[in-house]
Amino acid sequence: MTADAIRTVQVLISGRVQGVWYRAWTEETARGLGLAGWVRNRRDGFVEAVFSGPPDAVAAMLSRCAEGPPKALVTAVEVVAEGLPTPEGFSVLPMA
């Protein structure tokens, strides 16, 4: 895959997104779409994530993040950065 065929975004997800299986759901969903990156809870109540892969897969992940797992109530998915270095694999990071 060429660098032009990769989109990497950093996002902040707000709403009822902690304590509702959001991180595990994000990891499972991102891996299913073939994306690299990471996800973590933040002390301010947001979930923060980086998604990297084909642009259509990243767009699909952003759409899915707006829904989240069944117990989540997402109010916003905001792309806060683009063009970051491409991470390897997908992981759940400790709270920041």
Q: Of the residues 41, 42, 43, 64, which is catalytic?
A: 41
Average pLDDT over residues 64-84: 97
Which token pair is 4?
């032009």
Q: Which candidate, 91, 72, 84, places its Cα nearest to that of 8?
A: 84
Residue 67 within any structural domain of the chain: yes
pLDDT exceeds cutoff 70 at 79: yes
Residue 29 within any structural domain of the chain: yes
Q: How far apart are CA 73 and CA 6, in angstroms?
A: 29
Residue 37 within any structural domain of the chain: yes
23 lies in which domain range?
14-84
Q: Is 41 a known active-site residue? A: yes
Q: Are strands 36-41 and 90-92 parallel, antiparallel or unpaired?
A: parallel
Measured from the Cβ of residue 85, the count of other Cβ atoms closer than 10 Å reads 7
Residue 78 within any structural domain of the chain: yes
Res 3: pLDDT: 55
Average pLDDT over residues 9-20: 97
**Number of domains, the chain:** 1
Helices and strands, number each (H, E), in the chain:
2, 5
Res 2: pLDDT: 57
Q: Of the residues 23, 40, 43, 64, which is catalytic?
A: 23
Instruction: Give the predicted TM-score (pTM) of the model.
Output: 0.94
Q: Is 40 a known active-site residue? A: no
Residue 53 within any structural domain of the chain: yes
Residue 63 within any structural domain of the chain: yes
Output the domain CATH number for residue 80: 3.30.70.100
